Chains A and B, each alone.
Chain A
């Protein structure tokens, strides 16, 4: 439809369909049009505003959900970064430890360090004599204390026979109680008996209990005792698995993308390959896990739970993502650059290696990092190849059994001990931080390497 305003401007006497009109009627038409526009103007402004508000609302909703998630995770998980220690006066009595020859490593390893801790507790609470009561007293201190003392003695043999004031780990029940002491709904008593709470309170009042940074959480592997459980093992496992994935999927993905973009003829076969790659990118990850079991574990009889096998499976999963993003990056390099290189006599390989790849690199790296981030958060395929396992020892290579961060979160979320709840959230925080770092790296790399032409 022709704008009535336009019509009134200069075409009115050519336009035969319009009835001839006097200047006053022209003016009135203009006025009525302006009126019409003015009348609609408020409505249009409002629509414009509404349109913007929808956008802002969507973003606000997203941010709100994110904030909710973060506050929930952080408020639940922050407690895991501190842990309570108790001060004990420990006497390294050889007769209690059952060591008669301190040069014998086996004796040092098998000595009764728990006995020493128990003696120290008895000394602190001399009135506790009843046997079941004593058992309850002993259970206040974590098993970690035993290993701590063992390490101390093995490092410094002169400690034998000496008395030292040491800070040792408290049991997770006690730790959770102390952390929830100020809660409005009252402290978490759980499995603590009333006399145990009395002992804890008296220690607390005397300043013999202290909250410290939980270094265990970052330095140890998984443990069934929440106070000693850490994410180091899972973190290293994730790192090793990603290393294998990156080392395999990036070169293979880039090579495939270069061939498909630069060399492959356009025919039915390449179309078929393209459809398949796009399809594979959308296949649920558990399928790759099943494939991994069939190929790597059953056919090649590789052991279960290795970062090597995990990396291979995740390679299968991330390859399509990397190929697709690399192809897009190569496609984005303008043909003029290729033609210029060929024009001054470069071979096709030289053209690709010297000109196309460097220019496409930022896009390919971004794709690879996003693929890696996806692989980092993956649990389903790893479930199939046995990386959902209890592994205490920290893996040292790609052929040591390991778990990965999301699997560790899954395992802890499933544990009955209350203290694992906060560790689950803390592990999620670590995983999120890892992801944020990777994605920031992707953005930074793109910004830095990006070239304009």
Chain B
């Protein structure tokens, strides 16, 4: 019995070491952000159909999860490209280097707008970042003007700002695991937070406390975590025209008969206002390439060429059809040339 067990274990280990033999992978493996996923998959599909290479496999693991997998090491068992809806963090970069992933090519591909949306037949609402911060933060500056924080007392938008309609605050948004949530917190709540001068001053004194106060979202039912699925938020908004929802621009682009974007800082979210920076809530999208894999895994260079070609990420490229906001032309040329020469990034 014991002998049989030993043989079984030896056999299993034996076959598993031969696993590394089959790992002569002939397709590109991409992991990472679910925000970049719709764009990366379009490029992957077109690349697969137009070239003799196999279609890359794209996995939506979230930015953090993707970079973690990406940084685990060099070799066919590890992904070649990591998509991210934020820049790689210093900690992650260190982690990468410790595992031997030292040469990384960074590609900034474009921008994604974040929309505060409402049902299409709801009364249009015009918000500022400060309004949203005051409506959604867990602790807000004392309404009596003291330089202190109180638990968020606001129940209706009119209490936040008399110019806003007198209807209850109800915002549907993604959970903390989502990159959209991170970006929303950073671009809206923190920006709104910093519009209060004495809070902005706190940043230089105690950065951690400033971050904790500005990044905490209220948990008393006025902000509803509606899951990662943006389609669900779109449907819920339709059922409840008084609610607002937070989601990516591509959902507004595809469902304009159901939802519309709320004005933020006086600008309607549209392709043009996001591209020229008038609409304030947009975030950069990146992907990272392991340089050591170029030439080992077939097609990486060609995939980069396809992604950075004008027909893909250009002003009228097919990525814009999917809702990606392109880079300004100069920036595009600049990123494009550095990508073609596979220039490794430095942090």
Footprint of B on A, CB under 8 Å?
109-110, 135, 139, 143, 147, 188-191, 223-225, 300-305, 386, 388-393, 399, 401, 411, 413-418, 421
Contacts and interface: CB of A to CB of B under 8 A. Distances in A.
A147 B50 CA distance: 9
B54 to A, nearest CB: 6
Contact of B19 (A147, A300, A413): A300
Interface string B70-89: 00000011000000000000
Contacts of A147: 49
A418 B59 contact: no
B344 to A, nearest CB: 25
A304 B256 contact: no
**Quick one: which of B37, B250, B254, B321 has the most chain A CB within 10 A?**
B254
A76 to B, nearest CB: 12
Contact of B231 (A135, A388, A413): A413
| In the complex, the 3 A-B pairs of residues with the closest C-beta atoms, listed nearest first | A300-B16, A390-B58, A392-B55
A415 B41 CA distance: 12
Contacts of B254: 190-191, 416-418
B29 interface: yes
A143 B311 CA distance: 13
B29 to A, nearest CB: 7
B303 to A, nearest CB: 13
B287 to A, nearest CB: 14
Q: Interface on chain A toward B: helix, strand, loop, or mixed SS?
A: loop
Interface in B38-56: 38, 40-42, 44-46, 48-50, 52, 54-55
Nearest to A303: B23
A301 B78 CA distance: 9
B59 A302 contact: no
A298 to B, nearest CB: 9
B59 A390 contact: yes
Given A388-B59, A392-B48, A415-B38, A303 B25 contact: yes
A72 to B, nearest CB: 13
A260 to B, nearest CB: 15
A188 B248 CA distance: 21
B177 to A, nearest CB: 13
Nearest to B249: A416
Contacts of B50: 109-110
Interface string B243-272: 000001011011111000000000000000
B57 interface: yes
Nearest to A401: B57
Nearest to A132: B316
B197 to A, nearest CB: 39
Contacts of A401: 27, 57
B187 interface: no
A391 B48 CA distance: 11
Given A190-B257, A300-B19, A304-B29, A416 B230 contact: yes
Contact of B228 (A189, A305, A414): A414
B334 interface: no
A424 B230 CA distance: 15
B142 interface: no
Contact of B45 (A110, A223, A304, A386): A223
Interface size bucket, B side? 35 or more
B333 interface: no
Contacts of A300: 16, 19
B322 interface: yes
B60 to A, nearest CB: 7
A413 B229 contact: yes
Given A191-B254, A300-B16, A301-B19, A392 B231 contact: no
A389 B57 contact: yes
A390 B41 contact: yes
Contact of A303 (B41, B45, B77): B77
A393 B48 contact: yes
Contact of B22 (A225, A388, A399): A399
Given A223-B45, A300-B19, A392-B44, A416 B58 contact: no
A399 B25 CA distance: 10
Contact of B38 (A109, A191, A224): A224
Contacts of B59: 304-305, 386, 388-390
A224 B257 contact: no
B195 interface: no
A416 B230 CA distance: 8
A224 B44 CA distance: 10
Interface in B8-28: 16, 19-20, 22-23, 25, 27
A135 B321 CA distance: 12
B253 A416 contact: yes
Given A147-B49, A304-B59, A189 B323 contact: no
11 contacts: A143-B46, A223-B45, A224-B322, A303-B22, A303-B25, A305-B59, A390-B58, A393-B48, A411-B60, A414-B230, A418-B255
A411 B42 CA distance: 14
A247 B195 CA distance: 63
A416 B231 contact: yes
Nearest to B318: A143
Contacts of A110: 50
A199 B230 CA distance: 32
Contacts of A305: 57, 59
Given A189-B257, A224-B38, A414-B231, A301 B27 contact: no
Nearest to A410: B229
B232 to A, nearest CB: 9
Contacts of B250: 416
Interface in B294-312: none
B267 to A, nearest CB: 21
A64 to B, nearest CB: 22
A113 B40 CA distance: 23
Contact of A301 (B20, B44, B58, B228): B20
A224 B230 contact: no
Contacts of B42: 224
Given A302-B19, A391-B57, A416-B254, A224 B41 contact: yes
